[in-house]
Structure 1
Amino acid sequence: MRADDRPATRRVLVTGAASGLGLALTRLLVERGDEVLATDTATERPAPLPTGARYHPLDVRDDDGWAAALAEADGHWGGLDVLVNNAGVAAGGRIDVETMQEWTRLVDVNLLGVVRGCRAVTPAFKAQGSGHLVNVASLAGLVHAPGMSAYNAVKAGVVALSETLAFELAPHGIDVTVACPSFFRTGLGSSFAGADTGLAETGRRLVDGSRRGADEVAATVLRGVDARRHLVLTDRDGRIAWRAKRLAHPVYAAAMRRAGRRLAR
């Protein structure tokens, strides 16, 4: 869908909407005139949400919660046009330090939360012959630095899921976009936790010290959605890293080996 063909008002559900990229996306969507159902884990409406957005509590790990959120959208707007699977948590850790509990948490939220969202809305999207799935992954889903095995694996899973669904659902008029931002300033840094405390602290510093903010990333994501782009790389650093991996793999591999040696010190 080209930007000039975009419906004047779209019905959009955003997960993880109370902070960071989810909040920035929610604000931009409301400013554009879209109807937005903002969801997050808080029982009460989070204060930062714009007044133009509706709010519904949702834990993306809960199938019943998804059904209730979709019932809310259906009751007020008669359905949805766009689902933004944004909710996620952060983690970093070496394979022999990060615990299986941390792996399970990341898989449940960052991967299966997206799977549940896609499964929940696809029947209605098929029935109406249109819809757009927007899955927020990460550059970590494409470029796999050492010390981030669990996070890299689940974000790569979101990329693979999105590519699969792009081909699977296109005959039904459903678009799929996967966004892969690199580090940017967001509340995600506060969710870093786990046994490998040194790497968690490094992750927080990279997030908090980034030159990019959530508003900038959100604007780039929405431009990609309007253009019906499948893959959205939101910043120059990410584009360089992705192209290096694809087109200059020895250079990329050497950089990753250097990172591994630094991690081993």
Structure 2
Amino acid sequence: MRRVLITGGASGLGAALAARCAERGDQVLITDVKEPDVLPDGAVSFQPLDITSEADWAGALLRVRKQFEGLDLLVNNAGIAAGGRIDRLGAEHWQRVLNVNVLGAVTGCRTFTPLFKEQRGGHIVNVASAAGLVHAPAMSSYNASKAAVVALSETLRHELHPYGIGVSVVCPTFFRTNLAASMSADDPMMVQVATRLINKAPLGADEIAARVLQAVDARKFLIMPDRPARIAFWTKRLARVLYDRRMFATGTKIMESNE
């Protein structure tokens, strides 16, 4: 039985991960800015947590120490979707995306690393995106935020290894979830594109959650739970000319659709 904290656990991938962990008999603390309509069956509890709030994170740590007397798995899952062409995105948009997607994960890691060091063990899972590895046009803010989460995770993997602390980063492509609801309307065309891709995705959150937990159990670092993510990643690494050609074509298509 593991002691697990999951951010953004009220819906989407976070809820699917919580349900899977509860099925395995784990003690799960779901956190989110809003309480879920229904908690999964099993040893699951809830605490409000805005991942941009230092005070909320401190409260979560206190709850974990009192209720669980430690933690085995921290899942930094909460985040927001974003998209848009660079000239359509203002400073407020960038600040919101980076505050939530980057600093939210950073603060979670900063808060719980001392506890993990005390225990000489634990595992951090940062949910990024394939957008952190491959960088499509008209997604600059999202790509940058998720690339930062990948870099953070790789850094912590090596930094925390001597303490027996594991780190994984999850990089899926589109899967069916409610993530599009968090997108701002700075560039409506890109919101429509992202919503369509999410809704048409072949895999749902529960399938992604099962693959993620299996990879975490195997202590994998880079978790690409779907085939499109793996294809995109290896195309960029091994067939850069083809990768660039496709990205240029996407950029051209976006330009033409706006004319």
**Structure 2 residue corresponding to 1:249, chosen from 240, 250, 253:** 240
Could you give the per-residue CA deviations for residues 45-85 of structure 1, whole angstroms, max 9, x where no partner exists? 32132143100000000011001011111111101111000
In structure 2, the residue matched to 1:10 is 2
**Alpha-carbon separation, structure 1, partners of 2:45 and 2:38:** 12
In structure 2, the residue matched to 1:21 is 13
**Alpha-carbon separation, structure 1, partners of 2:8 and 2:232:** 27
Hey, which bits of structure 1, 4+ residues long, moved more than 4 A? none
2:219 matched to 1:228?
yes
**Alpha-carbon separation, structure 1, partners of 2:231 and 2:197:** 18
Give ranges in structure 1 of 5+ residues lacking alignment: 1-8
In structure 1, the residue matched to 2:24 is 32
Please give the residue correspondences for 1:132-147 in structure 2 after superposition, counting only pairs within 5 Å. Answer: 132-147=123-138
**Alpha-carbon separation, structure 2, partners of 1:72 and 1:131:** 17
In structure 2, the residue matched to 1:205 is 196
Q: Between 132-141 and 196-205, report the one with greater CA deviation.
A: 196-205
Q: Is the 8 A contact 2:19 2:41 kept in 1?
A: no
Q: TM-score, normalised to structure 1's length?
A: 0.95
In structure 2, the residue matched to 1:49 is 39
Q: Partner letter of residue 239 of structure 1? A: R
**Alpha-carbon separation, structure 2, partners of 1:105 and 1:203:** 18
**Alpha-carbon separation, structure 2, partners of 1:64 and 1:215:** 31
- RMSD (CA atoms): 0.8
Q: Is the 8 A contact 2:11 2:36 kept in 1?
A: no
**Alpha-carbon separation, structure 1, partners of 2:63 and 2:17:** 20
1:169 aligned counterpart, secondary structure: helix
Q: TM-score, normalised to structure 2's length?
A: 0.97
Please give the residue correspondences for 1:30-179 in structure 2 after superposition, counting only pairs within 5 Å. Answer: 30-42=22-34, 45-52=35-42, 53-179=44-170
1:257 Cα deviation (Å)?
0.6
When the two structures are aligned, how many residues end up with a matched partner? 255
**Alpha-carbon separation, structure 1, partners of 2:7 and 2:244:** 35
Give ranges in structure 2 of 5+ residues lacking alignment: none
**Alpha-carbon separation, structure 2, partners of 1:48 and 1:19:** 10
